[in-house]
A and B are shown apart, each in its own frame.
Chain A
Amino acid sequence: MPGRSSTAAYMLLITVTAVGVAEATLLAMLFLFSSILKLKLGVEVGPAGVLFTPPGCCGQVYLYNAATVGSLVFTAGCGAGTAVWKFRHWRPAR
C-alpha cells in the first residue's frame, strides 16, 4: 500500500497532467475556431505569447495573462469542485 505522501504525489501529478491536457485541448479549439472565423488570435503566456494568423484574416482576438491564469484556475477549480462533491456524496451501489 502506498503511503499518504506518495498518494498525494500521484494525485498532484494526475491533476497537473489532466489540467495541462485540457488547456492544450482548449488552445487547439481556439486556434481551430480562429482559423474558421478568419480571426487573428493572440494568447499572452507570461512575458511571451502566441500569435496565430490565418490567411485572409479580418479581425483579432487577444487574450491577456489574466485570461490564461483565469482559465487554468477555472479548469482546475471545476475539476476539484466536482471531485470533492463526488467524494463527499459517494454511496456504494445497491
Chain B
Amino acid sequence: MRVLLRLYPRSWRRRYGREMEVLLEDLGGETGVFLDLAVGAVIAYAAVVRGNRVLSTAAAFLHGVCVAVLLQAIGFVVLVLAGNNGAGILLPVGIGPVHIATFWRSTALLGLEARLSLPAAGVGLTASAMLAALVVALAALLLIPRLVKAPAR
C-alpha cells in the first residue's frame, strides 16, 4: 500500500509523506483505502497543475484537443445518421466548391453488389447508440475540470 504514495506529487510527499505512512500502517490494506489513495493522488496532481500557470495552460491545451476529437467523432456519426435517413443514396458535404465528405448509402453506385448484412434500421440504431455514448463522453470531459477540485484549505 505504501507504494501507492509514490503516485503523489513530490511536493505533497515531502510535506505529508511521513504522516501518511504511519496512517497507512494503522489502516491496513483495505480496498477502500486503496481507492481513497488513488483518487487522492489525482486530486493532489490537479492541485499542483492548478497552482502552476504553465502546467495549467498545457493541461487546458490537452483538454481542448480531447474535446475537438470528440466533436469530430460526433460529426462523423451525425454524417452517417443523416446519410442513412436522407432521401437520396448520396449525401455530399461541402462548402461551395470545396468537397469535405461524401456518404453513399450502398455500394451499388460503385458497381459493386450491395450486400446489406446490416440493414438501414440497424445502422441507424447502432449509430444513435454511438452518438449517445459520444455525447455522454463529451459531457463527462467538459465536467471533469469542475469535478476534480483542489481540497479546501
Interface residues of A (CB under 8 A from B): 14-15, 18-19, 22, 25-26, 29-30, 33, 36-40, 56-64, 66-67, 70-71, 74-83, 85-87, 90, 92-93
Contacts and interface: CB of A to CB of B under 8 A. Distances in A.
Given A59-B106, A59-B107, A63-B101, 4 more contacts: A57-B107, A60-B110, A77-B68, A83-B57
B123 interface: yes
Contacts of A30: 73, 76
Nearest to B51: A93
Q: Classify chain B: how many residues form its interface, as a range.
A: 35 or more
Nearest to B114: A58
Given A61-B102, A83-B58, A87-B57, A74 B68 contact: yes
Contacts of A70: 100
B83 A75 contact: no
Interface in B103-122: 103-107, 110, 114-118
Given A18-B65, A66-B98, A67-B100, A37 B60 contact: no
